[in-house]
C-alpha cells in the first residue's frame, strides 16, 4: 500500500514541463516563424510584386480574376494583407491602393481595414508575448509612469499614432505590444484610426492609370490633414490635464 502511494505521487519527468520551459519554447517557435516569414519575403524578393509598376502591368489580369472570382479575390486580398502586416513587411501602401483598384473605394477600405486590424493585432500580441516581460524586467523602474499614462489614455494616444503619418504603422504595432494597453482598446483604436488613410489610398486606386508615384497620393496637404486629425485625438487628454477642475462638493 505504501509503495502504491509513493508511485502514484511520483511525476514522470516527461509528463509535464515547467511553465517557464513551455513559455520559452513557445517564444522560440513564434520567433522562428517570424524570422522565417521575413526571410522568405526577402530571399525570394517578393517585394517586387508590391510596386506601382507591377500593379499597373498586371491590372487587366487582376481585374479579370476579381470579376470571375470576386469572393475568393477578397478573401485572398485580406489574407495577404494580414500576413504583410503581421510580419511587419513593406508594401502596405501598394496593397491598399490595390484594394481600392479591385474592389472600389468603400469595399476596398473595408477589406483593408479588416486585414490591417487583424494583422496589427497579431503583431501586437507577438511583441507582447516575446518582449514585454524582458522590457519590464530591465526598464520597469524607468517606464512605470509612462506605462501608467499610456494605459490611462491609450485610445487617444493610439488614435493619434495611427492618424499621423510620421509614425510607421509596423513600429506602432510593436511598441504598443510593450505597453499595458488593453487588447480590445488597441484593436478598436487601430480599426478606427486607419480609416482616413485607407480611404485616401483606396480612392486613389480607382484612378490607377493617372498615378505615377505614391508621393502624389501622400501630398503635403493630405499629410497635414492627417496630422491635424491626429492632434484632435489628443484634445480629451489636454482637457483632462489643463481644463477646469471640478471643485469637491461641500
pLDDT digits (tens, 9 = 90+) for 208-217: 867 777 777 7
User: Is 203 within 8 Å of 96 (Cβ atoms)?
Assistant: no
Could you tell me which of 209, 219, 140, 233 has the C-alpha nearest to residue 180? 140
Helices (H), 58-104: 59-68, 70-86, 92-103
pLDDT at 9 over 60: no
Q: What pTM, to 2 d.p., does this model score?
A: 0.81
pLDDT digits (tens, 9 = 90+) for 179-207: 889 999 999 999 999 999 999 999 998 88
pLDDT of residue 244 exceeding 70: no
Q: Tell me how far apart the alpha carbons of residues 189 and 163 are, in angstroms, rounded to a whole number.
A: 10
Of the ranges 11-25, 49-63, 116-130, 195-209, which one carries the lowest mean pLDDT score? 11-25
Strand, coil or helix: 87 = coil
Helix axis angle for 195-205 and 183-193, nearest 10°, is 40
DSSP for residue 245: P
* Cell 516527461 -> residue: 14
Q: What is the separation, in whole angstroms, between the first and last Cα of the chain?
A: 73
Q: For residue 242, what pLDDT is reported?
A: 61
Contacts of 56 by beta carbon, 8 Å cutoff, 6+ apart: 208, 209
- Considering Cα of 124, then 91, then 230, then 202, what sign does the dihedral take? negative
Predicted confidence band at 237 (pLDDT cuts at 50, 70, 90)? low
Range ranked top by mean pLDDT from 106-115, 125-134, 189-198, 206-215: 106-115
* Residue found under cell 509598376: 53
DSSP class of residue 223 equals H
What tens digit of pLDDT does each residue of 45-72 get? 999 999 999 999 999 999 999 999 999 9
Domain ranges of the chain: 21-240
Amino acid at each position: 500500500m505504501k509503495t502504491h502511494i509513493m508511485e502514484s505521487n511520483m511525476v514522470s519527468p516527461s509528463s509535464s514541463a515547467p511553465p517557464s520551459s513551455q513559455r520559452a519554447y513557445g517564444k522560440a517557435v513564434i520567433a522562428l516563424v517570424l524570422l522565417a516569414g521575413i526571410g522568405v519575403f526577402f530571399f525570394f524578393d517578393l517585394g517586387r510584386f508590391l510596386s506601382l509598376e507591377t500593379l499597373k502591368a498586371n491590372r487587366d489580369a487582376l481585374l479579370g480574376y476579381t470579376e470571375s472570382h470576386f469572393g475568393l479575390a477578397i478573401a485572398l486580398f485580406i489574407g495577404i494583407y494580414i500576413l504583410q502586416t503581421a510580419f511587419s513587411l513593406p508594401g502596405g501602401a501598394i496593397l491598399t491602393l490595390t484594394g481600392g483598384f479591385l474592389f472600389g473605394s468603400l469595399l476596398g477600405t473595408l477589406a483593408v481595414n479588416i486585414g490591417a486590424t487583424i494583422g496589427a493585432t497579431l503583431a501586437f500580441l507577438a511583441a507582447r508575448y516575446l518582449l514585454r516581460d524582458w522590457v519590464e524586467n530591465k526598464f520597469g523602474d524607468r517606464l512605470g509612469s509612462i506605462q501608467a499614462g499610456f494605459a490611462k489614455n491609450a485610445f487617444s494616444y493610439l488614435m493619434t499614432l495611427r492618424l499621423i503619418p510620421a509614425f510607421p504603422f509596423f513600429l506602432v504595432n510593436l511598441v504598443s505590444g510593450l505597453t499595458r494597453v488593453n487588447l480590445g482598446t488597441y484593436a478598436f483604436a487601430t480599426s478606427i484610426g486607419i480609416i482616413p488613410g485607407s480611404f485616401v489610398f483606396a480612392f486613389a486606386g480607382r484612378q490607377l492609370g493617372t498615378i505615377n508615384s505614391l508621393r502624389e497620393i501622400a501630398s503635403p496637404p493630405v499629410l497635414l490633414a492627417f496630422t491635424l486629425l491626429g492632434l484632435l485625438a489628443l484634445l480629451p487628454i489636454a482637457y483632462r490635464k489643463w481644463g477646469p477642475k471640478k471643485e469637491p462638493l461641500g
